[in-house]
Amino acid sequence: MCRGCFDWEKGIVDYELVDAACRAGRQRRAGVAAWNTTTGRRRMNAVGSAPSRTVLVVEDDAMISHLIDHILRRRGFTVQVAADGRQADQLFDTMPPPAAVILDVMLPFVDGFALVERLRSMPAWATVPVLMLTSKSQESYVVRAFGAGVNDYVIKPFRPEELVARVRRLIGS
């Protein structure tokens, strides 16, 4: 996350800046030219390219999913977001396996534990690293998650740089 969106000393997110970044991200995903602040030129998103660093984010809280989307896109990842368990379950059947999955526990329709079990039962997705990102800090949830096959467990509220470091470690980059 850029320094303008996050007060590193207080740990406070400027949600207006994040919202503006999310709007710009939606425009890029739609193929609309976006302003590149580094070069001062307009740039186009490469539509139809096969990204090697795709992360599937399954999160029902729109603000958190936009924040994760923003954090990961700024670090060069391609992000696909599912807003609930049912949508994630459908993506398992339709999209190629991503480099990693970030998954909440408490989701509408299908919970995170059931999604991990389904993901691990699919040959193409069985080896995809899964990071469970949730507010559930009880030991029983952590043990159940690792028992279901997750590779890492992060408790909300999370630190943005730590999340990126954990994702990078999971995908080996």
- Read off the pLDDT band of 15 (50, 70, 90): low
Mind listing the pLDDT tens digit for each residue in 111-150? 999 999 999 999 999 999 999 999 999 999 999 999 999 9
Read off the pLDDT of each residue in 77-98 and give the average, rounded to a whole number. 95
Domain architecture of the chain: domains with CATH: 49-171 (3.40.50.2300)
Phi, psi at 29, each rounded to 5°:
-65, -25
- Read off the pLDDT band of 172 (50, 70, 90): confident
Percent of the chain scored above 90 by pLDDT?
68
Structure tokens, 148:
């279901």
Q: What is the residue whose two structure tokens read 């534990």?
A: 113
Asked if omega into 97 is within 30° of 0 (cis), the reply is: no
Q: What is the DSSP letter of 42?
A: E
Q: How much is the pTM? A: 0.71
β-pairing, 34-36 with 12-13? unpaired
